[in-house]
Amino acid sequence: MLSVKNHSVAYGQSTIIEGLNLDVDKNEIVAVVGRNGMGKSTLMRSLVGMTASKGGEVSLDGTDLSKLKSFERVRAGIGFVPQGRMIFPTLTVKENIETGLAASGEKTIPEDLYELFPVLKEMQHRRGGNLSGGQQQQLAIARALATNPKVLLLDEPTEGIQPNIIQELGRTLKRIRDERNLSIVVSEQVLSFVMDTADRILVIEKGDIVHEESRQEADQEKIASYLAV
């Protein structure tokens, strides 16, 4: 499915990710956990091509994406929900979702997106900036799903979201995986969310995967120790 080999990213002279390998299966939710500054956002942004890679290979279903620009990677099947959600605050909810349709070639918003997020249908004519944090997160996910991705990347989706809404987010991601048969990679620091949601947990430190466990066998204390400052 998604295959990342020997992936490296640098900002100028400063190498943040070096030789990282990652494989994600179909229908799998993989969480990449790590403290602030360990390279989670750099990894996610570089997979979707918003930050340039220095080397390595990113492929999806056997197609090499490494040379493609960001919009081409989205067209090839990478959906992205950025940190901070980055919805368009002055556009309506409907217009925000429609910005994703260009990549899928659809003309209208598929009804199943509104089934997944009924509140977005109710609020389709409101400006995105007037939604609550949790609703904006739903909007950012709906916009990414409108591109009809094969793999959905979410960068710290629980940031700034209330605990009860975080639980709902976990249920939604599992529903998306099951109903749409796609793979999900989520970067996170909230361990309870990861333990509820992920099938596999990877720990990132200084731009490399240093620990990996399936959720069933996960040693929560050990993972927590990586997150402790």
Which residue ranges make up the site for ligand ATP (CB under 6 A)?
Answer: 11, 14, 16, 34, 36-42, 83
Q: Which is nearer to ligand ATP, 148 or 158 (CB)?
A: 158
Tokens at 158, concatenated: 């629980």
Q: How far is the CB of 225 from ligand ATP (least distance, A)?
A: 17
Q: Which is nearer to ligand ATP, 123 or 190 (CB)?
A: 190
Q: Which is nearer to ligand ATP, 16 or 223 (CB)?
A: 16
What's at 47, amino acid-wise?
L
Q: How far is the CB of 139 from ligand ATP (least distance, A)?
A: 21
- Cα 15 to Cα 132: distance, rounded to the nearest angstrom: 37
15 DSSP β-pair partners: 10
Q: How far is the CB of 31 from ligand ATP (least distance, A)?
A: 13
Q: How far is the CB of 98 from ligand ATP (least distance, A)?
A: 28
Mark 113-134 as b/e (b = at least 16 C-beta within 10 Å).
bbebbeebeebeeebbeebeeb
Q: Which is nearer to ligand ATP, 116 or 186 (CB)?
A: 186
Radius of gyration of the chain (CA): 17
Q: Which is nearer to ligand ATP, 40 or 143 (CB)?
A: 40
**Running DSSP on this structure, what letter comes out for residue 192?**
H
Q: How many of the other CB atoms lie within 10 Å of CB of 75?
A: 17
- Cα 220 to Cα 214: distance, rounded to the nearest angstrom: 11
Q: How far is the CB of 16 from ligand ATP (least distance, A)?
A: 4
Phi and psi torsions of 184, nearest 5°: -130, 130
Q: How far is the CB of 14 from ligand ATP (least distance, A)?
A: 6
Q: Which is nearer to ligand ATP, 11 or 71 (CB)?
A: 11
- Cα 3 to Cα 46: distance, rounded to the nearest angstrom: 13
209 DSSP β-pair partners: 204
